[in-house]
Amino acid sequence: MKYPILVSDFLNNMNDGLIYIDSDGIIQEYNEKAKQMMGIQRKCAYPHNEGKIEKGDIVIIAYTSFGLDDEGIDENDFKKIGLTFNNIEEGTTVLAVGKYMGNVNGKSKIKAPGAYMDVITLEDDFEGVHFKAKVDYIDRCVEIKINSRSYRYYYNNYFSNCVVLDKDTKEMKFYQQGGYTAWKEDLKLLLNGQFFSEKKVGINIKEVINKHIFEAHDNNEIIKEFISCAKGEHLGFKGKNSKLNGIYSSCTFFPVKRVGKTVGAYLLLSDISLLQSVETQKNIAYSKLKVVTKSLKDNEIIEKYFPKIIGSSKIISEIKRLGYKASRFQSNVLLLGESGTGKSILARAIHDASDNKNKPFIQVNCSSIPETLIESELFGYEKGAFTGANQKGKKGYFEMADSGTIFLDEIGDLPKAMQVKLLHVIQNKKFYKVGGDKEIEVDVRIIAATNRNLELDVKNKLFRKDLYYRINVFPIHIPSLRERIDDMHELVEYLLPKICMKIGTEEKRISGEAMAKLRVYHWPGNIRELENILERAVNLCDDKIITSDYIKVKINKKNLINQEEYLKPLKDSLNELELEIIENVMDYTNDDKMKTMKILKIKKTKLYDKLKTIKKRENSEITE
């Protein structure tokens, strides 16, 4: 038996998509390739009934590129699930969860289009549901995972993924699939009351034959021209790149004529979305390369200006970056941190990296100057100002630092009377010498440092609030050595040769066992203590290798840095953290329980139970 070749066989085996409409815009042909490209035909993994989003339903969204849909979701639509965004930049990735019209704040995470990362993830619990939303920019995959079920879609340019859970059962009642524009299931439509279609496992096909073209496609420019061509108002064109239902295509359409009359038009579609995706990926890679190149250049500059800030850990690299930023302007800087962390070294480095590096750098230790002499030391004095004064008078530190930098170390130890005069200098850049009647004007950049809690001192009226605000323009908190223990090897490699040269002995090295001992010690004296310990070891050791026997530090429970102490149940760690927070707040409030309860927003019974636990722990430590 012979089977004739049907026109439909030819159309459905074409490599390009073909759509044919009559002069009224009614679809007459829509081949298999076009159905696949435009999402008219889609393969579904999970079934659900038709319906719509109801009040109280949970909506989880993974939106790869906000604003790139022709009629996409906007800030007002996000408010329907308890999210408030203002002026989101086009192309922003939005991961979000919320309760539809539920008067409950939603949760979200966004990535601006200018920020480059490989993956962005939002994983959380919401209304008793654990979920994970993710966009993988490398694999071009957008996924929402709830419990063990994954709703995943591989996209070329952008995709608006969405899963809706029933308000009562918390079961899936809708999930987004490719072709949502053709199925009229755009996220914006759904959030504004549009019904969604039923999904069956396997191939789902939307009936489009004898339907108007607008029922399968957006009312965009290319479709308008297609309809115009079918009416004989447009001559058509060939190979025009355009976006149709979110898919980048090369479009060719021409009118169909019968007896000299235009009766319709056909549209040929070549899928170029993959090429567009490759181009997008190339642009992303190029942008990443620019960012990395700039980052490397910035790192080279930072390392050049901060060679004495030793270490490459993340935390110390951030300190160098902040130090470099501080060097770029003349605002006051406040260095915070424990004694021995290197505040004076960073202060000098900031000055040396600034445009005033060739100007004076004057370092003043405020705690080492007697209270009776501090004013004359800072501001100088005129001849004969007081008994024993130099007959020629004397310049003060501020006058010596004119046009440069003055570093006020341990500024928290300044007497209250001196704080007033320092505030005047900062505000007016003028002062009087002791015994003088002529106001002296100076242009001085102030870097201050302290190991005290100045906020607490302000609260306790030990330090002036107005002075604190004046010096705290650009604060930098320098970490303790135990917070940057990963820098230990670099610090030892830097310090040992200098110590050996200072003592006048041959250069020595440190054994791995000795290094391990240095890494577990708590270092209450920080780098200054490390220098002393190393110097003692060099003096004690007659060999070229310093073993752990020569590292004279006392390792016990209270000064041990040991990763194994963190290998404990999460509940125990959280309980310890709670106790530590309560202790800190009690210190802040001077043991005022009412204030502590108000700050922490906890009830009296909980606070008293925790304080009993703290007391028991303290008694246990004393017994030990």
Q: What confidence score (pLDDT) does residue 623 get?
A: 39
Q: What is the pLDDT of residue 499?
A: 93
For residue 361, give both structure tokens. Answer: 């750098």
In CATH, 485-563 is 3.30.200.20? no
Task: Compute the distance between CA of residue 304 and CA of residue 252 in angstroms, rounded to an integer.
Answer: 59
27-30 and 17-22 strand pairing: antiparallel
Cβ atoms within 10 Å, residue 137:
18
What is the predicted pLDDT for the residue at 362?
A: 95
Q: How far is CA 53 from the centre of its chain?
A: 33
CA–CA separation, 597 vs 576, rounded Å?
A: 18
What does the block give as tokens for 275?
A: 């090429």
Residue 186 Cα to chain centre, angstroms = 30
Q: Could you say which of 3.30.420.40, 3.30.450.20, 3.60.110.10, 3.40.50.2300 is the CATH number of the domain covering 7-37+209-271?
A: 3.30.450.20
Residue 564's pLDDT is 47
SS3 140: coil
Amino acid 86: pLDDT:
79
The yes-or-no answer to whether 306-477 and 485-563 have a common fold is no
Instruction: Name the pTM for this structure.
Output: 0.47
3-state DSSP call for residue 425? helix
Q: What are phi and psi of 322, to 5 degrees?
A: -65, -40
Residue 97: helix, strand or coil by DSSP? strand
Residue numbers in the chain where pLDDT is lower than 70: 1-10, 70-71, 272-298, 385, 387-389, 556-569, 573, 618-624
Q: What pLDDT score does 624 carry?
A: 38
Question: What is the CATH topology of the domain spanning 306-477?
Answer: Rossmann fold (3.40.50)
Identify the residue whose tokens are 């100088």: 380
For the chain, domain boundaries: 7-37+209-271, 41-205, 306-477, 485-563, 570-623
β-pairing, 474-477 vs 445-450, is unpaired
Task: Classify 3 as helix, strand or coil.
Answer: coil
Cα gap 155→36, rounded to integer Å: 14
Q: Which two tokens stand for residue 576?
A: 């310890």
Would you say 26 and 212 are in contact if contact means Cβ atoms under 8 Å apart? yes
Degrees, nearest 5: CA angle 7-12-14: 100
| CA nearest neighbour of 501 among 534, 526, 528 | 534
Q: How far apart are CA 598 and CA 592, in angstroms?
A: 10
